[in-house]
Amino acid sequence: MTSQIQELTKLDGAVLLEDGSVKLTSSSSGDEFGSTVSISGNTFVIGASLGNGGTGCSYVYHWNGGSYEKIQLQASDGVLYDYFGYSVSIDGDNI
């Protein structure tokens, strides 16, 4: 099935697929990427609660009119199983 899905837009470090899903190109199956998503305007946030070596992280993608800009959010003092990114929310400019 994956080979049949045509890529529409390349994101920085991820791929937006024809079916509307986003696949992180550097993710592993156990990082929980995409288990939580929030969208506001031209910006969306995707959680990966076991990403970043098991501490968790979130990815923010913002459409700037020509391409998506990506920012990875993670705790500066994160430890294994912190589950950062377990729940994400965006409202305007507030994440």
Q: What is the pLDDT of residue 25?
A: 63
With a cut of 50, say whether residue 8 has pLDDT above it.
Answer: no
> Residue 5 contacts by C-beta under 8 Å, 6 or more apart in sequence?
17, 18, 19
Question: In this structure, what token pair is assigned to residue 34?
Answer: 């995409």
Q: What is the pLDDT of residue 7?
A: 35
Grade residue 63 by pLDDT with cuts at 50, 70 and 90.
confident
Contact 39, 52 (CB under 8 A): no
pLDDT in tens, 21-46: 666 666 566 888 888 989 898 898 99
User: What single letter denotes the amino acid at residue 17?
Assistant: L
Global pTM reads 0.74
pLDDT in tens, 74-84: 999 999 999 99
Contact 39, 16 (CB under 8 A): no
With a cut of 60, say whether residue 9 has pLDDT above it.
Answer: no
Q: What is the pLDDT of residue 6?
A: 33
Q: What is the pLDDT of residue 84?
A: 96
Q: What distances in angstroms separate CA 32 from CA 51, 66, 69, 73, 83, one per listed residue?
A: 7, 29, 21, 15, 10
In angstroms, the CA 1 to CA 55 distance is 31
